[in-house]
């Protein structure tokens, strides 16, 4: 299975699908290894989980929705054959089977949600919150459309099932604690500190390396031809139109910028008034009124607090905007008082209250002069979006007329870039990165998935721009001759010789040290310093490289060993190893636990669902699966 996953990630489609797969809560339910569940039955269903069927139409719809979402996320055209080759069909079926098992369990347990609870959950979902901080109907509709839901009712029905599944998951994993053994292992891994005595066997200790003979060089090259192979190079033309490339703040007049500033000032450039507020809560209105009368007679608010044995921390509400108050009545009263003022008794949500305003921080508005350049840039970017859409249509018209990308750009007085030769990693023939390719990673993936003369789909950028490209030439990968790479081969041969000689020398020195020789004496004979590195942790060391640190922690305390560090060799001894006691309240430990808990919860839930499926029984109709996604045998 792991080997299959490794092969899957060798191409970009597989990587995208694997990323999607690990984003799903339930990532593995171990149903594919049960040979006797693959049985032929009705062609209108692809699987049966207990008493629940998964219809061919439901599976096909889920598969197409997931494929569409994947294409949107990667901004690439992914064929159904590519998706099936990367395992998307199995992933979708696996998800539907797991959901069916959980749905039946929820039903058998009598779990249900009221419509009002579902509505409240949707309204409170952060995915649907707009700029005002409240539920945004337009954002909700956009999300439904992008997710492929035909109507709101269908989404609500699905959300009800999702919430019930989540209830089951929460009952299994809520308040999950990491096992003590795991916590201790994490602590040892993070907190263990080692002291290391070491010295460096430098590159020059290998002595003079004579130039290789032609026979040695040829033999070295023949054994490593793949390392010197010329990659495939492609030549292409690319044209990018994005809001950032089109936007020109110099064309924005002061009048337009001022008008735009006035529209967005309240939202972007205004800091709301805040007030530092204190409150004293009384057991009843009578006690609050008595305290209020005392204050009017000359007793201070602080004295009342002291009488009630309340500290400054007890009476502090903090510095709040009016919307920040949990108790609206208290907030309203606080914002009606002057600085230093004390309120009349207030009937609050938590009892009778007296409120004092300690300090008022007035509303602050950044003046236009201070943010003029930023406002002009924002307005230019807003206008650029419309210009980009217009240019996109014009370029598409030119392409429809049969013009190349370069000719279309020239006709519209735009700048297209021609890259003469680049490999899949973005390097030219000289081995140096080519940095002026717009949307570099996305364009390179698309270029190397295309071909000469192919009519490529336009690519979209994260900032709602567009990129067109066409492949001009392909120089296939080939095996270079020794004559072409003689200098590189000679350099590699020399480095291999240095590594070999130093490894042999280090082996001899380690044997002498293990036999009782001192580090100081061995280092002195080599003419290098004998050094000590304290506070060496797996996370790193000020004196030792990551490669040396990794080797230090791969041996036992007291061990003597050596490790390559570039072309040098480091010979070391682990002098001491200390692990402090585990402090359960340590913030670092808590942070690691918080990161691990979701993975542990997924494992627990996966085991639970696997057991559900085993108890309910799962049957899969392979013929219907292939029919639904239009493919042949997936096995």
Higher pLDDT, 82 or 444: 444
Pairwise CA distance, residues 194 & 535, whole Å: 6
Tell me what the pLDDT averaged over the chain comes to. Answer: 85
Pairwise CA distance, residues 289 & 304, whole Å: 12
| 467 neighbors 461 (Cβ within 8 angstroms) | yes
Pairwise CA distance, residues 73 & 630, whole Å: 23
Measured in degrees and rounded to the nearest 5, phi and psi for residue 53 equal: -100, 150
* Low-confidence winner among 158-162, 571-575, 611-615 (lowest mean pLDDT): 158-162
Domains of the chain: 2-173+599-629 (1.10.4030), 193-228+485-578 (3.10.50), 233-244+385-475 (3.10.50), 273-362 (3.10.50.40)
pLDDT value for 23: 44
Question: At which residue do the structure tokens 């938590």 appear?
Answer: 350
Instruction: List the strands of the sheet with 618-620, edge to edge.
Output: 52-55, 45-49, 618-620
Q: Is pLDDT at 433 greater than 90 in this prediction?
A: yes
Token digits of residue 626:
């292939």
Q: Is pLDDT at 363 greater than 50 in this prediction?
A: yes
pLDDT value for 190: 85
User: 311-362 pLDDT, tens per residue?
Assistant: 888 899 889 888 888 788 889 999 999 999 999 999 887 788 999 999 999 9
User: 166-194 pLDDT, tens per residue?
Assistant: 888 888 888 888 888 888 888 888 889 99
Measured in degrees and rounded to the nearest 5, phi and psi for residue 318 equal: 105, -175
Token digits of residue 87:
């395992």
Q: Taking the model in full, what pTM does it have?
A: 0.52
Higher pLDDT, 577 or 79: 577
User: 532-544 pLDDT, tens per residue?
Assistant: 999 899 989 999 9
pLDDT value for 132: 64
Question: At which residue do the structure tokens 């290391």 appear?
Answer: 196
User: 3-62 pLDDT, tens per residue?
Assistant: 344 344 444 444 444 444 444 433 333 333 333 333 444 568 889 999 999 988 888 888
- What is the separation of C-alpha 404 from the centre of its chain, rounded to a whole number of angstroms? 38
Strand, helix or coil for residue 499: helix
Token digits of residue 413:
């007085």
Element (H, E) at 149: none
pLDDT above 70 as % of the chain: 91
Strand, helix or coil for residue 478: strand
| 185 neighbors 522 (Cβ within 8 angstroms) | no
For the chain, the C-alpha Rg in angstroms (whole number) is: 35
User: 455-498 pLDDT, tens per residue?
Assistant: 898 998 887 889 999 999 999 999 999 999 999 999 999 999 99
pLDDT value for 2: 35
Element (H, E) at 574: strand 568-578
Per-residue confidence band for 86, with pLDDT thresholds at 50, 70 and 90 = confident
Instruction: List the strands of the sheet with 351-361, edge to edge.
Output: 316-320, 274-282, 351-361, 346-348
For CA atoms 41, 47, 52, 54, the dihedral sign is negative
Token digits of residue 537:
């942790």
Pairwise CA distance, residues 103 & 216, whole Å: 69
């Amino acid at each position: 299975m792991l080997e299959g996953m490794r092969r899957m990630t060798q191409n970009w489609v597989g990587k995208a699908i694997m990323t999607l797969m690990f984003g799903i809560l339930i990532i593995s339910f171990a149903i594919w290894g049960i040979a006797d569940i693959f049985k032929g039955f009705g062609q209108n269903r692809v699987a049966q989980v207990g008493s629940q069927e998964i219809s061919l139409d439901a599976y096909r719809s889920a598969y197409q929705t997931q494929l569409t979402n994947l294409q949107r996320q990667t901004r690439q055209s992914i064929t159904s054959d590519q998706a099936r080759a990367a395992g998307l069909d199995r992933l979708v079926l696996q998800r539907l089977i797991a959901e069916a098992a959980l749905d039946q369990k929820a039903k058998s347990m009598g779990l249900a949600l009221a419509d009002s609870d579902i509505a409240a959950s949707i309204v409170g979902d952060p995915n649907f919150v707009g700029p005002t901080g409240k539920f945004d109907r337009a954002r909700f509709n956009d999300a439904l459309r992008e997710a492929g839901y035909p109507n709101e009712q269908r989404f609500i029905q699905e959300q009800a099932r999702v919430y019930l599944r989540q209830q089951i998951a929460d009952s299994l994993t809520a308040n999950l604690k990491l096992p003590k053994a795991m916590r201790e292992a994490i602590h040892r891994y993070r907190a263990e500190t080692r002291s290391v005595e070491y010295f460096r066997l430098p590159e020059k200790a290998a002595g003079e390396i004579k130039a290789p003979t032609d026979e040695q060089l040829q033999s070295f090259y023949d054994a490593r031809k793949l390392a010197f192979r010329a990659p495939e190079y492609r030549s292409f033309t690319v044209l990018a139109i994005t809001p950032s490339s089109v936007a020109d703040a110099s064309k924005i007049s002061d009048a337009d910028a001022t008008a735009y500033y006035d529209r967005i000032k309240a939202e972007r450039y205004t800091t709301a008034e805040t007030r530092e507020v204190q409150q004293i809560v009384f057991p009843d209105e009578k006690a609050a009124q008595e305290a209020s009368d005392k204050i009017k007679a000359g007793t201070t608010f602080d004295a009342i607090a002291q009488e009630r044995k309340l500290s400054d921390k007890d009476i502090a509400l903090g510095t709040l905007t009016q919307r920040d108050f949990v108790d609206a009545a208290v907030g309203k009263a606080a914002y009606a008082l002057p600085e230093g003022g004390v309120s009349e008794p207030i009937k609050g949500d938590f009892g009778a209250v007296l409120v004092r305003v300690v300090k008022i921080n007035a509303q602050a508005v950044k003046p236009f002069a201070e943010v003029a350049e930023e406002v002009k840039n924002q307005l230019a970017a807003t206008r650029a979006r419309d210009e980009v859409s217009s240019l996109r249509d014009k370029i598409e018209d030119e392409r429809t007329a049969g013009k190349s990308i370069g000719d279309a750009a020239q006709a519209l007085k735009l700048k297209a870039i021609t890259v003469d030769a680049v490999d899949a990693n973005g390097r030219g023939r000289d081995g140096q990165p080519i940095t002026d390719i717009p949307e570099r990673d996305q364009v390179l993936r698309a270029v190397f998935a295309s071909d000469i003369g192919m009519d490529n789909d336009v690519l979209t950028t994260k900032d709602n721009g567009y990129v067109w490209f066409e492949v001009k030439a392909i120089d296939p990968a080939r095996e270079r001759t020794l004559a072409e790479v003689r200098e590189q081969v000679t350099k590699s041969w020399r480095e291999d010789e240095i590594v070999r000689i130093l490894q042999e020398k280090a082996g001899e020195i380690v044997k002498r040290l293990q036999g009782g020789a001192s580090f100081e004496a061995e280092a002195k004979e080599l003419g290098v310093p004998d050094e000590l590195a304290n506070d060496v942790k797996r996370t790193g060391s000020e004196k030792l490289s990551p490669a040396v640190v990794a080797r230090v922690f791969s041996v036992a305390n007291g061990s003597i060993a050596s490790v390559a560090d570039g072309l040098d060799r480091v010979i070391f001894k682990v002098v001491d190893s200390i692990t402090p006691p585990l402090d359960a309240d340590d913030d670092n430990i808590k942070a690691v636990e918080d990161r691990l808990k979701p993975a542990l919860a997924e494992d627990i839930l996966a085991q639970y669902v696997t057991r559900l499926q085993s108890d309910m029984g799962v049957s899969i109709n392979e013929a219907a699966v292939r029919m639904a996604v239009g493919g042949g045998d997936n096995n």
